[in-house]
Amino acid sequence: MSSACPPSACDTCAVPRGPAQRLGLDVGKADYVVALAGNPNTGKSTVFNRLTGLRQHTGNWPGKTIARAEGGFAYGGKRFKIVDLPGTYSLRSASPDETVAREFILFGKPDVTVVVVDANCLERNLNLALQILQITDRAVLCLNLMDEARANGVEIDARGLSRELGIPVVPCTARSGEGLPQLLAEMHAVASGAFKPSPYRLKLAVPGLREALGRVVARLRARFPGLANAEWIALRLLEGDSAVGEMVSTGTLGSLSADHASQEAAATGTTGAASKEIRA
Ligand SMILES: Nc1nc2c(ncn2[C@@H]2O[C@H](COP(=O)(O)OP(=O)(O)OP(=O)(O)O)[C@@H](O)[C@H]2O)c(=O)[nH]1
Ligand SMILES: [Mg+2]
Protein backbone atom coordinates (compact mmCIF):
# COMPACT_ATOMS: atom_id res chain seq x y z
CA MET A 1 0.00 0.00 0.00
CA SER A 2 1.30 3.46 -0.83
CA SER A 3 1.42 5.91 2.03
CA ALA A 4 -0.33 8.19 -0.50
CA CYS A 5 -3.27 5.72 -0.83
CA PRO A 6 -6.23 5.18 1.48
CA PRO A 7 -6.00 1.85 3.39
CA SER A 8 -9.02 0.46 1.51
CA ALA A 9 -7.21 0.80 -1.84
CA CYS A 10 -5.18 -2.41 -1.35
CA ASP A 11 -8.15 -4.69 -2.13
CA THR A 12 -8.67 -3.27 -5.60
CA CYS A 13 -5.18 -2.00 -6.44
CA ALA A 14 -3.62 -3.37 -9.64
CA VAL A 15 -0.03 -2.78 -8.47
CA PRO A 16 1.74 -6.16 -8.39
CA ARG A 17 2.95 -7.62 -5.11
CA GLY A 18 5.28 -10.50 -4.37
CA PRO A 19 9.00 -11.08 -4.65
CA ALA A 20 11.33 -9.73 -7.30
CA GLN A 21 13.55 -12.00 -9.35
CA ARG A 22 17.18 -10.94 -9.05
CA LEU A 23 18.85 -10.65 -12.46
CA GLY A 24 22.35 -9.64 -11.33
CA LEU A 25 24.26 -8.17 -14.29
CA ASP A 26 21.99 -9.88 -16.79
CA VAL A 27 19.60 -6.97 -17.31
CA GLY A 28 19.03 -7.48 -21.04
CA LYS A 29 16.55 -5.00 -22.49
CA ALA A 30 15.02 -3.17 -19.57
CA ASP A 31 11.45 -1.91 -19.48
CA TYR A 32 12.26 0.66 -16.81
CA VAL A 33 15.34 2.40 -15.42
CA VAL A 34 15.56 3.10 -11.67
CA ALA A 35 18.08 5.55 -10.18
CA LEU A 36 19.14 5.08 -6.55
CA ALA A 37 20.06 8.52 -5.23
CA GLY A 38 20.76 9.87 -1.77
CA ASN A 39 23.29 11.30 0.67
CA PRO A 40 26.41 9.23 1.36
CA ASN A 41 26.01 6.22 3.69
CA THR A 42 22.22 5.97 3.61
CA GLY A 43 22.09 2.35 2.36
CA LYS A 44 21.75 2.79 -1.43
CA SER A 45 24.16 -0.05 -2.23
CA THR A 46 22.48 -2.25 0.37
CA VAL A 47 19.14 -1.74 -1.41
CA PHE A 48 20.86 -2.35 -4.77
CA ASN A 49 22.47 -5.61 -3.59
CA ARG A 50 19.20 -6.92 -2.13
CA LEU A 51 17.27 -6.24 -5.33
CA THR A 52 19.86 -7.43 -7.86
CA GLY A 53 21.76 -10.13 -5.95
CA LEU A 54 25.02 -8.32 -6.77
CA ARG A 55 27.70 -7.42 -4.24
CA GLN A 56 28.42 -3.73 -4.43
CA HIS A 57 30.81 -2.54 -1.75
CA THR A 58 29.00 -1.46 1.43
CA GLY A 59 30.35 -0.31 4.80
CA ASN A 60 29.69 2.15 7.54
CA TRP A 61 31.48 5.20 6.18
CA PRO A 62 30.56 7.67 3.45
CA GLY A 63 31.99 7.69 -0.08
CA LYS A 64 32.25 3.94 -0.82
CA THR A 65 30.46 4.03 -4.15
CA ILE A 66 32.55 6.18 -6.48
CA ALA A 67 31.20 5.21 -9.89
CA ARG A 68 27.78 4.18 -10.98
CA ALA A 69 26.95 0.47 -10.91
CA GLU A 70 24.13 -1.22 -12.79
CA GLY A 71 22.17 -4.39 -12.19
CA GLY A 72 18.72 -5.76 -12.76
CA PHE A 73 15.65 -7.41 -11.35
CA ALA A 74 12.31 -8.52 -12.70
CA TYR A 75 9.08 -7.58 -10.97
CA GLY A 76 5.43 -7.54 -11.96
CA GLY A 77 6.28 -8.96 -15.40
CA LYS A 78 8.73 -6.11 -16.16
CA ARG A 79 12.52 -5.93 -16.27
CA PHE A 80 14.11 -3.13 -14.30
CA LYS A 81 17.62 -1.78 -14.71
CA ILE A 82 18.68 -0.24 -11.40
CA VAL A 83 21.59 2.20 -11.13
CA ASP A 84 23.46 2.54 -7.83
CA LEU A 85 24.91 6.05 -7.63
CA PRO A 86 27.63 7.59 -5.45
CA GLY A 87 26.24 9.50 -2.48
CA THR A 88 25.67 13.20 -2.96
CA TYR A 89 24.50 16.02 -0.71
CA SER A 90 23.22 18.29 -3.45
CA LEU A 91 22.54 18.44 -7.16
CA ARG A 92 24.79 21.49 -7.12
CA SER A 93 27.81 19.66 -5.70
CA ALA A 94 30.87 19.43 -7.86
CA SER A 95 33.16 16.76 -6.36
CA PRO A 96 33.94 14.04 -8.94
CA ASP A 97 31.83 11.29 -7.28
CA GLU A 98 28.94 13.66 -6.79
CA THR A 99 29.17 14.76 -10.42
CA VAL A 100 28.55 11.15 -11.50
CA ALA A 101 25.37 11.10 -9.42
CA ARG A 102 24.23 14.53 -10.48
CA GLU A 103 24.69 13.84 -14.17
CA PHE A 104 22.73 10.60 -14.03
CA ILE A 105 19.89 12.13 -12.03
CA LEU A 106 19.70 15.09 -14.42
CA PHE A 107 20.40 13.49 -17.79
CA GLY A 108 19.92 9.73 -17.36
CA LYS A 109 16.12 10.07 -17.72
CA PRO A 110 15.32 7.42 -15.09
CA ASP A 111 11.71 6.20 -15.06
CA VAL A 112 11.78 6.45 -11.29
CA THR A 113 14.30 7.99 -8.89
CA VAL A 114 14.39 6.32 -5.49
CA VAL A 115 15.77 8.77 -2.95
CA VAL A 116 17.27 6.76 -0.09
CA VAL A 117 17.33 8.79 3.14
CA ASP A 118 18.59 8.07 6.64
CA ALA A 119 15.56 8.21 8.96
CA ASN A 120 17.91 9.30 11.77
CA CYS A 121 18.87 12.58 10.10
CA LEU A 122 15.89 13.25 7.93
CA GLU A 123 16.17 17.02 7.91
CA ARG A 124 19.65 17.03 6.36
CA ASN A 125 18.72 14.29 3.87
CA LEU A 126 15.57 16.07 2.69
CA ASN A 127 17.66 18.82 1.11
CA LEU A 128 18.65 16.54 -1.78
CA ALA A 129 15.18 14.97 -1.89
CA LEU A 130 13.57 18.39 -2.34
CA GLN A 131 16.04 19.29 -5.08
CA ILE A 132 15.22 16.09 -6.93
CA LEU A 133 11.50 16.82 -6.62
CA GLN A 134 12.08 20.10 -8.47
CA ILE A 135 13.18 18.18 -11.57
CA THR A 136 11.03 15.05 -11.63
CA ASP A 137 7.54 13.86 -10.73
CA ARG A 138 8.65 10.26 -10.74
CA ALA A 139 10.21 9.74 -7.34
CA VAL A 140 9.83 7.50 -4.30
CA LEU A 141 11.34 8.14 -0.87
CA CYS A 142 12.97 5.13 0.80
CA LEU A 143 13.03 6.00 4.51
CA ASN A 144 15.91 3.71 5.41
CA LEU A 145 17.65 2.64 8.63
CA MET A 146 14.30 2.43 10.38
CA ASP A 147 15.73 -0.19 12.79
CA GLU A 148 18.25 2.34 14.09
CA ALA A 149 15.66 5.11 14.13
CA ARG A 150 13.36 2.95 16.26
CA ALA A 151 16.24 2.09 18.62
CA ASN A 152 17.01 5.82 18.90
CA GLY A 153 13.38 6.61 19.71
CA VAL A 154 12.87 8.53 16.45
CA GLU A 155 9.26 8.42 15.27
CA ILE A 156 8.38 9.49 11.73
CA ASP A 157 4.90 10.08 10.38
CA ALA A 158 5.53 8.46 6.99
CA ARG A 159 2.00 9.13 5.76
CA GLY A 160 2.21 12.78 6.75
CA LEU A 161 5.60 13.08 5.05
CA SER A 162 4.20 11.47 1.92
CA ARG A 163 1.32 13.95 1.88
CA GLU A 164 3.70 16.90 2.34
CA LEU A 165 6.19 15.75 -0.30
CA GLY A 166 3.56 14.44 -2.72
CA ILE A 167 5.42 11.17 -3.39
CA PRO A 168 5.24 7.66 -1.90
CA VAL A 169 7.29 7.25 1.28
CA VAL A 170 8.30 3.73 2.30
CA PRO A 171 9.85 3.00 5.73
CA CYS A 172 12.60 0.35 5.22
CA THR A 173 15.39 -1.51 6.92
CA ALA A 174 17.37 -2.47 3.83
CA ARG A 175 19.85 -4.53 5.83
CA SER A 176 17.12 -7.01 6.84
CA GLY A 177 14.89 -6.48 3.79
CA GLU A 178 12.02 -4.96 5.78
CA GLY A 179 9.90 -2.67 3.60
CA LEU A 180 11.48 -3.75 0.29
CA PRO A 181 8.33 -5.50 -1.03
CA GLN A 182 6.44 -2.24 -0.65
CA LEU A 183 9.32 -0.27 -2.13
CA LEU A 184 9.17 -2.54 -5.20
CA ALA A 185 5.44 -2.01 -5.53
CA GLU A 186 5.88 1.78 -5.36
CA MET A 187 8.75 1.75 -7.88
CA HIS A 188 6.61 -0.27 -10.27
CA ALA A 189 3.58 1.99 -9.79
CA VAL A 190 5.54 5.18 -10.41
CA ALA A 191 7.72 3.84 -13.26
CA SER A 192 4.72 2.40 -15.10
CA GLY A 193 2.61 5.52 -14.58
CA ALA A 194 -0.04 3.59 -12.59
CA PHE A 195 0.57 6.16 -9.86
CA LYS A 196 1.42 9.74 -10.79
CA PRO A 197 2.98 11.64 -7.89
CA SER A 198 2.47 15.39 -7.63
CA PRO A 199 5.57 16.50 -5.75
CA TYR A 200 6.08 19.59 -3.68
CA ARG A 201 7.52 22.35 -5.85
CA LEU A 202 9.14 25.61 -4.84
CA LYS A 203 7.26 28.63 -6.09
CA LEU A 204 9.30 30.96 -8.29
CA ALA A 205 7.63 34.09 -6.97
CA VAL A 206 10.39 36.58 -7.87
CA PRO A 207 9.01 39.21 -10.29
CA GLY A 208 10.29 38.74 -13.83
CA LEU A 209 11.97 35.40 -13.04
CA ARG A 210 9.51 33.29 -15.05
CA GLU A 211 10.02 35.43 -18.16
CA ALA A 212 13.81 35.41 -17.79
CA LEU A 213 13.76 31.64 -17.32
CA GLY A 214 11.61 31.19 -20.40
CA ARG A 215 14.10 33.12 -22.52
CA VAL A 216 17.11 31.17 -21.23
CA VAL A 217 15.30 27.83 -21.64
CA ALA A 218 14.40 28.67 -25.25
CA ARG A 219 18.05 29.45 -26.05
CA LEU A 220 19.26 26.29 -24.30
CA ARG A 221 16.79 24.13 -26.21
CA ALA A 222 17.79 25.74 -29.51
CA ARG A 223 21.47 25.00 -28.86
CA PHE A 224 21.01 21.55 -27.21
CA PRO A 225 17.95 19.85 -28.75
CA GLY A 226 16.41 17.18 -26.51
CA LEU A 227 18.12 18.59 -23.39
CA ALA A 228 16.60 17.21 -20.18
CA ASN A 229 15.84 19.55 -17.29
CA ALA A 230 16.49 22.72 -19.26
CA GLU A 231 14.67 24.80 -16.63
CA TRP A 232 16.93 23.55 -13.83
CA ILE A 233 19.98 24.43 -15.93
CA ALA A 234 18.55 27.85 -16.76
CA LEU A 235 18.01 28.56 -13.05
CA ARG A 236 21.61 27.64 -12.28
CA LEU A 237 22.81 29.96 -15.06
CA LEU A 238 20.72 32.82 -13.67
CA GLU A 239 22.25 32.13 -10.24
CA GLY A 240 25.73 32.38 -11.74
CA ASP A 241 26.73 28.72 -11.19
CA SER A 242 30.16 28.68 -12.83
CA ALA A 243 30.34 24.88 -13.33
CA VAL A 244 27.05 24.86 -15.23
CA GLY A 245 28.09 27.99 -17.13
CA GLU A 246 31.22 26.19 -18.30
CA MET A 247 29.21 23.14 -19.41
CA VAL A 248 27.14 25.46 -21.59
CA SER A 249 29.98 27.54 -22.99
CA THR A 250 32.18 24.55 -23.82
CA GLY A 251 29.24 22.56 -25.20
CA THR A 252 29.83 19.58 -22.83
CA LEU A 253 26.19 19.84 -21.80
CA GLY A 254 25.19 18.61 -25.26
CA SER A 255 27.53 15.63 -25.20
CA LEU A 256 26.43 14.67 -21.68
CA SER A 257 22.81 14.62 -22.76
CA ALA A 258 23.64 12.67 -25.90
CA ASP A 259 25.76 10.14 -23.97
CA HIS A 260 22.96 9.40 -21.56
CA ALA A 261 20.40 9.20 -24.35
CA SER A 262 22.48 6.62 -26.25
CA GLN A 263 23.08 4.57 -23.08
CA GLU A 264 19.37 4.63 -22.40
CA ALA A 265 18.64 3.50 -25.95
CA ALA A 266 21.12 0.63 -25.60
CA ALA A 267 19.51 -0.45 -22.33
CA THR A 268 15.98 -0.41 -23.64
CA GLY A 269 16.48 -1.37 -27.27
CA THR A 270 15.02 1.88 -28.56
CA THR A 271 16.53 4.95 -30.11
CA GLY A 272 17.17 8.35 -28.55
CA ALA A 273 14.43 10.64 -27.38
CA ALA A 274 11.70 8.50 -28.92
CA SER A 275 12.38 5.74 -26.39
CA LYS A 276 10.34 7.41 -23.64
CA GLU A 277 7.31 7.62 -25.84
CA ILE A 278 7.60 4.04 -27.00
CA ARG A 279 7.88 2.80 -23.43
CA ALA A 280 5.17 5.08 -22.04
N1 LIG B 1 21.16 -0.78 10.79
C2 LIG B 1 21.06 -0.65 9.47
N3 LIG B 1 22.15 -0.52 8.72
C4 LIG B 1 21.99 -0.38 7.39
C5 LIG B 1 20.74 -0.37 6.76
N6 LIG B 1 20.93 -0.21 5.43
C7 LIG B 1 22.25 -0.13 5.25
N8 LIG B 1 22.89 -0.23 6.42
C9 LIG B 1 24.33 -0.16 6.69
O10 LIG B 1 24.71 1.17 6.45
C11 LIG B 1 26.03 1.23 5.93
C12 LIG B 1 26.02 2.01 4.64
O13 LIG B 1 25.34 1.24 3.65
P14 LIG B 1 25.68 1.39 2.10
O15 LIG B 1 24.68 0.54 1.39
O16 LIG B 1 27.11 1.12 1.84
O17 LIG B 1 25.38 2.93 1.90
P18 LIG B 1 25.52 3.82 0.57
O19 LIG B 1 24.39 4.78 0.60
O20 LIG B 1 25.62 2.96 -0.63
O21 LIG B 1 26.87 4.58 0.85
P22 LIG B 1 27.82 5.40 -0.21
O23 LIG B 1 28.03 4.53 -1.41
O24 LIG B 1 29.09 5.63 0.56
O25 LIG B 1 27.08 6.66 -0.52
C26 LIG B 1 26.48 -0.23 5.79
O27 LIG B 1 27.23 -0.59 6.93
C28 LIG B 1 25.16 -1.00 5.74
O29 LIG B 1 25.28 -2.33 6.20
C30 LIG B 1 19.58 -0.51 7.58
O31 LIG B 1 18.44 -0.48 7.12
N32 LIG B 1 19.81 -0.64 8.92
MG1 LIG C 1 27.07 2.88 -2.09
Report whether 91 contacts 131 (CB < 8 A): yes
Which of the following CATH numbers is that of domain 7-192: 3.40.50.720, 3.30.70.260, 3.40.50.300, 2.40.110.10?
3.40.50.300
Ligand nearest to the CA of 125: 1
| Ligand 1, CB cutoff 6 Å, lining residues | 38, 40-46, 58-60, 62-65, 86-87, 144-145, 147-148, 173-175
* Nearest atom in ligand 1 to 40's CA: 25
Domain boundaries, the chain: 7-192, 209-273
Q: What is the pLDDT of residue 26?
A: 82
CA distance 232 to 135: 7
Q: What is the pLDDT of residue 242?
A: 87
Task: Provide the edge-to-edge strand list for the sheet that holds 78-84.
Answer: 21-24, 69-75, 78-84, 32-37, 112-118, 139-144, 169-171
Measuring CA to CA, which residue among 141, 174, 144 is closest to residue 47? 174
Report pTM: 0.86
CA distance 45 to 47: 5
Which range among 92-101, 156-165, 241-250 shows the weakest confidence by mean pLDDT? 92-101
Ligand nearest to the CA of 59: 1
* Nearest atom in ligand 1 to 46's CA: 15
Q: What is the pLDDT of residue 254?
A: 84
CA distance 63 to 155: 27
Report the share of the chain in percent with pLDDT over 70: 84
Residue 92 has pLDDT above 80, yes or no: yes
